[in-house]
Amino acid sequence: MKHFSFTATIALALLLLFGCQATTGDKAAELKKLKEQQTKLAEQIQTLEQEVGTQTGSTLQTPKETAVEVMELRATPFTHYLEVQGKVDCSDNIAVSPKQPGIVTQVLVVRGQKVNKGDVLATLDDAVFQQSLQELQTNISFAKTIYDKQKALWDQKIGTEVQFLTAKNNLQTLEYKMATLQKQADLYNVRAPITGTVEEVNVKVGEGAMVGSPVPPFRIVNASNMKVVVDIAETYVGKVRVGDEAEVLLPDLGKTVTCKVKTIGNIINNAGRTFPVELKLPAMPDLRTNMIAMVKIKDYAVASTIVVPINTIQNSEEGSYVYVVEKTGDKYTAKKQLVTPGTANGDFMEIKNGLQSGNLLITTGFQDLNTGQLVKF
């Protein structure tokens, strides 16, 4: 541009100089002559510039190319995970108490012992009950004797029907009462309600065992039915569903397992504004109740979308944007491209609009770029 201005200035000066001397009659001829001189002068100036440039080692400056790094965008699957902390629990974690209060006469298990459903864990003092049972048995024996005699007489048409029916009714009443008491006899046995392992034994022989005690006499856990319980903020209601996949990290075991959401609570906790979610764990021998678990629940997934490093996204009054590379002739230039961000996951962001597969995203060196600026990579 400077060379053009210099040439134009000399030409204009010559034009004015000779124009002042020209007469009206030969202006056209003079103009033609000046144009020829202008052309020759321009050629001479160009030649001199080239010679000067060669001698000084300088050339005409060309726009500087900014070094950048780029990545070619491709549509890929994208998944977002909700990360929360929970604890390991057991679906079959049962506090075992007697069905009626009593004094413990036997404790038949120890902590860590495997038991089956229905096994007797302890027995209660049933002396009074057994006495009542014995008395009832005596009454039944007497009632049966009376019934047998009345029946024999009735068969011989001796006595009245009322006497026979009364004896029969008395015997049946006592037998029904015996059947009821025999069922109640098992109340003095504390039985295992599930198959599992005895985790707690909180009672000794001679101590009283109460129904629904805050400290239960026994606790049984079935370790084959373990789960993780987490509390999730109410803002995620509707985003987490039964059957959603999750990754569960157990730091104490150094293991990560994949499982699914089993149940979702329907009540929001007023204190923390959260709702409970349970995930079923596979059976693992080293699992313990109340272990810490780090849970990542997949709450958003798309099969194919454009994903970019989140640090490449900048913001202005126009909105969010990134820089991409455009080819102009045999050169590459930077272009400011407005985008619509979606969901973020770690260091990456989904782009809903503005980019497509094949775009060259500038990932390094974009901070000071302007649209149209030459770049190299």
Mean pLDDT for 318-343 is 92
For 252-269, what is each residue's pLDDT tens digit? 999 999 999 999 999 999
How high is the pLDDT of residue 301?
A: 87
* pLDDT band, residue 27 (cuts 50/70/90): confident
Residue in the structure block whose two tokens are 């764990």: 281
How high is the pLDDT of residue 192?
A: 95
The angle formed by the CA atoms of residues 214, 182 and 122, to the nearest 5 degrees, is 35
Domain match, 130 and 192 both: yes
Domain match, 288 and 145 both: no
Task: Flag whether 12 is in a domain.
Answer: yes
How high is the pLDDT of residue 22?
A: 45
How high is the pLDDT of residue 30?
A: 80
Mean pLDDT for 318-330 is 91
Domain match, 265 and 342 both: no
| Cα gap 199→211, rounded to integer Å | 19
Task: Flag whether 195 is in a domain.
Answer: yes
Task: Flag whether 348 is in a domain.
Answer: yes
Quote the percentage of the chain above a pLDDT of 90.
56
Domain match, 87 and 99 both: no
Domain match, 134 and 211 both: yes
Task: Flag whether 192 is in a domain.
Answer: yes
Q: How many distinct structural domains can be found in the chain?
A: 4
How high is the pLDDT of residue 10?
A: 47
Domain match, 74 and 132 both: no
Where residue 362 sits, what CATH number does that domain have? Answer: 2.40.420.20
Mean pLDDT for 342-354 is 92
Task: Flag whether 61 is in a domain.
Answer: no
Q: What is the 3-state secondary structure (H, E, C) of 153-191?
A: HHHCCCCCHHHHHHHHHHHHHHHHHHHHHHHHHHHHEEE
pLDDT score of 356 more than 80 = yes
* pLDDT band, residue 26 (cuts 50/70/90): confident
* pLDDT band, residue 216 (cuts 50/70/90): very high
Domain match, 108 and 176 both: yes
- Could you tell me which residues come within 8 angstroms of residue 102 by beta carbon, excluding any fewer than 6 positions away? 124, 125, 126, 188, 208, 209
Task: Flag whether 157 is in a domain.
Answer: yes
Domain match, 73 and 209 both: no
Domain match, 112 and 202 both: yes
How high is the pLDDT of residue 62?
A: 57
Domain match, 242 and 292 both: yes
Domain match, 258 and 318 both: no
For 94-138, what is each residue's pLDDT tens digit? 999 999 999 999 999 999 999 999 999 999 999 988 898 899 999
* pLDDT band, residue 156 (cuts 50/70/90): confident
Domain limit, last residue, from 185, 201, 219:
219
Q: Domain of residue 266: give its range.
A: 83-92+220-301
Q: Is 0.85 topped by the overall pTM? A: no
Task: Flag whether 179 is in a domain.
Answer: yes
Task: Flag whether 272 is in a domain.
Answer: yes
Domain match, 39 and 112 both: no
Where residue 225 sits, what CATH number does that domain have? Answer: 2.40.30.170
Cβ proximity of 308 and 290 under 8 Å: no
* pLDDT band, residue 75 (cuts 50/70/90): very high
| Cα gap 249→254, rounded to integer Å | 7
pLDDT score of 349 more than 90 = yes
For 31-67, what is each residue's pLDDT tens digit? 767 766 775 676 577 566 655 554 544 444 556 889 9
| Cα gap 224→245, rounded to integer Å | 20
| Cα gap 188→168, rounded to integer Å | 32
Domain limit, last residue, from 301, 332, 356:
301
How high is the pLDDT of residue 64?
A: 83
Mean pLDDT for 192-214 is 92
Where residue 179 sits, what CATH number does that domain have? Answer: 2.40.50.100
E strand spans, 202-291: 208-209, 218-221, 226-233, 245-250, 255-264, 274-280
SS3 121: strand
How high is the pLDDT of residue 1?
A: 44
Domain limit, last residue, from 185, 219, 253:
219
